[in-house]
Structure 1
Amino acid sequence: MNLDYRSAALSELPEIMAIETSGFSPAEAATETAMAQRIKEYPDTFIVAKADHQIVGYIVGPASHQRYIDDDLFEHAQPNDPTAAYQTVLSLVVHPDFRGHGIASQLLEKLKRVATAQNRQAITLTCLKDLIAFYERNGYRNEGVSDSGHAHEIWYNMVLMLHKS
């Protein structure tokens, strides 16, 4: 499968939202308003994967000064701060018809390249218990249960170091 990776466009919001709701419960999924803000505020770290003009997956998150994700990041989008040490991941989702082809890992790698070029120290995200092994296979380290109360779930802090500090 030949994929094209690039920044998300606001015109793609309906496609992005369909994928978002396929990968997260209603309580976990971003709202359309929040997703539109993310597209506008951090286009450099909102990457879509396209196959034959169809979005098949995406990864998105802002830069942050905090090692672990704060629930406020899910609600309020602000432009990436070039001095922030961490790159976050708020959503990584692949369309159900395209899962199992390594697209999620490729999206993680694309974001890693962006974060490295922007001199971030690490990429940080939270995930549910059943996804810990996936992120570990992609080089992330489980740093324990998150303080996040997002969607009333138990989340785990996962961190991928990019630079020695």
Structure 2
Amino acid sequence: MRAPIFRQATPSDTERCFHIETLAYEGDEAATREKIATRIAQYPEGFLIMELDGEIAGFINSGCAHEVVMSDEAFKELVGHDAAAPNVVIMSVVLDPAHQGQGHSTRLMRRFIEQMRAMGKQTIHLMCKEQHVDLYKHFGYRYVKPSPSEHGGMSWHEMVMEL
């Protein structure tokens, strides 16, 4: 296997990204095809794709805000997104299950953090399930609080990284 290639998403990536999103997330947790298309169209700089051997293996997508409200469902459709804002909000961190357990999610997250730092962003925010809190702490995120969000009928935890 060759080294991963990292790039911005393009509209032609929508279908494959939607497919991976539905494999990786349970039920209502997964973003819709429309939300993924919107994120690619409106903020490709914050939609990082990782390719392995010419195929999309995973991605991270995000938006930016001046004031972060993690439980804001409309923001998942980039309502209130401002590319110039200093705070990044990750919406999906997704790796095709066929490529999990090989260190690719670490490579993907590290590249995303590097890119956001290079863009002059100040913080990266995300929500995760309890079983992923320690993983994100390993990357340098700090636990903030349990989230009031009930997205997908699940319990979520807010995390932040100061860049």
Q: Does the 8 Å CA contact 2:38/2:77 hold for their aligned counterparts? A: no
Match of 1:72 in 2: 74
What's the CA shift for 1:86? 0.8
The two structures, once aligned, show a CA RMSD in angstroms of: 1.5
For residues 81 and 52 of structure 2, what CA distance do their matches in structure 1 show? Answer: 28
Counterpart CA distance in 1 for 2:120 and 2:36 is: 25
Q: Size of the alignment, in residue pairs?
A: 161
Give the structure 2 partner of residue 110 of structure 1: 111
CA contact (8 A) 1:85 1:119 kept: yes
**One-letter identity of the residue aligned with 2:147:** S
Higher mean C-alpha deviation, range 64-73 or range 48-57: 64-73
Correspondence for 1:17? 18
Pairing 1:72-111 to 2, within 5 Å after superposition: 72-76=74-78, 80-82=82-84, 84-111=85-112
Identity of aligned residues (%): 29
CA distance in 1, matches of 2:67, 2:78: 15
Instruction: List runs of 5+ in structure 2 lacking aligned partners.
Output: none
Letter in 2 for 1:72: A
2:114 maps to a residue whose letter is: R
TM-score between both structures, scaled by the size of structure 1? 0.91
Spell out the pairing of 1:18-57 with structure 2 (5 A cutoff).
18-57=19-58
Q: 2:73 corresponds to which letter in structure 1?
A: D
Change (3 A) 1:78 1:49: farther
Stretches of structure 1 that go unaligned for 5 or more consecutive residues are none
1:135 & 1:127 partners in 2: Cα distance? Answer: 9
Q: What TM-score results when the alignment is normalised by the length of structure 2?
A: 0.92
